[in-house]
Amino acid sequence: MSYSPELLAPAGSLEKLKVAVLYGANAVYCGGQQFGLRTAAENFTNDELLEGVEFAHARNAQVFVVLNGFLHDKDLVSLPEFLYFLEEIHVDAVIVSDIGVVETVKEHTSLPIHLSTQASCLNVESAKLWEKMGVKRVILGREASIADGALIKKHTDLEVELFIHGSMCMAYSGNCVISNYTQGRDSNRGGCAHSCRFEYELENENSKQKAYFMSSKDLNGLEHLELFLGSKIDSLKIEGRMKGHLYAATVAKSYSRAIREWKETGSVSRATLEKSLNELNKISHRLYTDTNLIESSKEDSIFDEREQVEGKYVTVGFVEESVPGKHLVIDVKKAFDKGDTLELIPFVSDEVSFKAKNIFTLNLKEEIERTNPGSLVKIPYSENANRFSLIRRKTLEGSEVNQ
Ligand code: SF4
């Protein structure tokens, strides 16, 4: 079968699912109200899951639902009902860590099973066992290299999914009890408090020293994209269900641009890599590293200075409607002022800078100086723009991480 790499993006909410798909993701992963590991994310209701699947399938993208918590027997009781629902709405796969959940999925449905990174599959023997147990795909632990992924592909019939971008976990892919200890919260049941990001005091006989010695830099594997693709890694995974719309759009667009070029020409040009890296540098991130993709990460992957690189842009809204030659209707997410320079982010082509020379209320009855989040406004704009395109504004004030 011919190789067609999948770009898999996080969908922390229904809106972010749409953003990721429109900006080039071939698949998205999201969580329902239960059974996952992201209790704080805006997890999907059943209605949102249905809408998300319909939206993605209409655009040839797939939806995977995360069920990667480690469950107690009492938690398993209500799982079959949710699984029936997922099968009924044609979810494309479920992402599972717990062997008990694997068995429950097999017993009650024909849903394809992807083994979560949480299960820390790193080697061929482990992968073979999971294959025997009915798993279709392994999402390798973030400790795995591209070469590890290629080896597993060679010795099994499994699909291999490997992280290419996003935050890292210093523990073996979340098998971590630091949050239990520091906050009474269980990472393995959705309660990670990011305790590895805190500053700790190290003490020995002679000295005390404060340090962020457990926090990892963020993964950025763009420079190794050709190796991912040459190794026929099936799915290139982006981390970040907790991150904002601008992150979802920027990362999906940056990687899909490069993958598209590879599909068309068999390689990725330096110019394309630079363009994508430039965009990835505009979103909030810790310093980047390629961690374990080539060789095991070393001291230089520790992010010990708290030097979060703040995003250079904020999302001010989405295009709700475009009337070429006349105006855009913008669904405002963050206030902007008359005279501000904005940038439209098309799904594929380059960003377009323009000035909000005038801002009008929706009925054009009133011209306003400043927009309000949550409102719809009209601004003059001559070109066409796709519905749901993001509009961003340069900021001096910093982060959009939680937008
Ligand atoms: S506290 Fe840090 S190392 Fe532990 S699970 Fe959370 S992100 Fe991973």
- pLDDT per residue as tens digits for the range 285-300: 999 999 899 988 888 8
Residue 402 has pLDDT above 80, yes or no: no
φ and ψ at residue 149, rounded to 5 degrees: -60, -45
Residue nearest to atom 5 of ligand 1 (CA): 174
Q: What is the pLDDT of residue 41?
A: 53
Instruction: Give the residues surrounding ligand 1 with Cβ less than 6 Å away.
Output: 169-171, 174, 176, 178-179, 187, 192, 194-196
**Closest residue by Cα to residue 332 from 314, 313, 351:** 314
Residue nearest to atom 8 of ligand 1 (CA): 169
- pLDDT per residue as tens digits for the range 219-239: 999 999 999 999 999 999 999
- pLDDT per residue as tens digits for the range 36-47: 666 555 789 999
Q: How many Cα neighbours within 13 Å face the side chain of 337? A: 4
Q: Are strands 137-139 and 113-115 parallel, antiparallel or unpaired?
A: parallel
Task: Tell me what percent of the residues of the chain surpass a pLDDT of 70.
Answer: 94
Query: What's the DSSP call for residue 72?
Result: P
**Best probe residue, ligand 1, of 163, 196, 239, 243 (max atoms within 8 Å of C-beta):** 196
**Closest residue by Cα to residue 150 from 214, 269, 229, 231:** 231
Ligand 1 atom closest to Cα of 167? 7
Q: Are strands 218-220 and 288-289 parallel, antiparallel or unpaired?
A: parallel
Alpha carbon of 193 to ligand 1 centroid (Å): 7
Would the CA dihedral through 342, 346, 352, 357 be positive or negative?
Answer: negative
φ and ψ at residue 369, rounded to 5 degrees: -90, -30
Q: What is the pLDDT of residue 306?
A: 63
Residue 91 has pLDDT above 90, yes or no: yes
**Best probe residue, ligand 1, of 70, 180, 181, 192 (max atoms within 8 Å of C-beta):** 192
Alpha carbon of 303 to ligand 1 centroid (Å): 14
Residue nearest to atom 4 of ligand 1 (CA): 176
Alpha carbon of 304 to ligand 1 centroid (Å): 15
Domains of the chain and CATH, by start? 6-189+215-293 (3.20.20.380), 313-394 (2.40.30.10)
Alpha carbon of 329 to ligand 1 centroid (Å): 41
CB 71, CB 101: distance < 8 Å: yes
Helix (H) or strand (E) holding 272: helix 270-280
Q: What is the pLDDT of residue 233?
A: 98
Ligand 1 atom closest to Cα of 169? 8
User: Residue 112: exposed, middle, or buried by beta-carbon count in 10 A (0-12, 13-18, 19+)?
Assistant: middle
**Closest residue by Cα to residue 114 from 139, 140, 132:** 139
* For residues 251-259, average pLDDT: 98
* Encoded tokens for 43: 């997890």
**Closest residue by Cα to residue 101 from 137, 135, 140, 67:** 67
* Encoded tokens for 312: 């250079």
Q: What is the pLDDT of residue 403?
A: 38
Residue nearest to atom 1 of ligand 1 (CA): 194
Alpha carbon of 218 to ligand 1 centroid (Å): 13
Alpha carbon of 244 to ligand 1 centroid (Å): 20
Alpha carbon of 255 to ligand 1 centroid (Å): 26
Ligand 1 atom closest to Cα of 177? 4
**Best probe residue, ligand 1, of 38, 117, 172, 178 (max atoms within 8 Å of C-beta):** 178
Alpha carbon of 352 to ligand 1 centroid (Å): 38
CB 288, CB 220: distance < 8 Å: yes
For residues 312 and 399, give the distance between their C-alpha atoms in angstroms, rounded to a whole number. 7
* For residues 212-216, average pLDDT: 87
Looking at per-residue pLDDT, the higher value among 188 and 92 belongs to: 92
In sequence order, the β-bridge partners of residue 398 are: none
Ligand 1 atom closest to Cα of 194? 1
Alpha carbon of 197 to ligand 1 centroid (Å): 8
Q: What is the pLDDT of residue 179?
A: 83
For residues 181 and 113, give the distance between their C-alpha atoms in angstroms, rounded to a whole number. 32
CB 30, CB 52: distance < 8 Å: yes
Q: How confident is the model at residue 397 (pLDDT cuts 50, 70, 90)?
A: low
DSSP string for 79-93: HHHHHHHHHHTT--E
DSSP string for 206-224: S-EEEE-TTPBPEEE-GGG
Alpha carbon of 184 to ligand 1 centroid (Å): 13
Ligand 1 atom closest to Cα of 173? 8
Q: How many Cα neighbours within 13 Å face the side chain of 36? A: 22
pTM score over 0.75: yes
* For residues 340-367, average pLDDT: 92
Alpha carbon of 10 to ligand 1 centroid (Å): 18
Q: Which amino acid would we find at residue 82?
A: F
